[in-house]
């Protein structure tokens, strides 16, 4: 696996971490909806990119 694809997988894991981070009881509690949206967008974006790269590899381009 290329380093770029490993970086994409790491970004997907970071998105899951942003969704699951517990912020209640801290001063960052008000930004929890923002971190959730950023995490979801990161997961979707990098997952779709990896799917695109996989389809291109299967088609031989």
If you count them, how many residues does the chain have?
61
Task: Report pLDDT for 1.
Answer: 65
DSSP-derived secondary structure for the chain? --HHHHHHHHHHHHHHHHHH---TTSTTGGGHHHHHHHHHHHHHHHHHHHHHHHHHHHHT-
Which pLDDT tens digits describe the chain residue by residue (61 residues)? 678 889 999 999 999 999 999 989 899 899 999 999 999 999 999 999 999 999 998 998 6
For the chain, the structural domain boundaries read 3-22+30-59
């Amino acid at each position: 696996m290329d380093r770029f694809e490993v970086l994409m997988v790491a970004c997907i894991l970071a998105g899951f971490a942003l969704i699951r981070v517990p912020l209640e009881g801290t001063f960052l509690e008000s930004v929890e909806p923002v971190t959730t949206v950023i995490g979801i967008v990161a997961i979707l974006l990098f997952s779709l990119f990896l799917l695109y790269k996989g389809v291109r590899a299967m088609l031989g381009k």
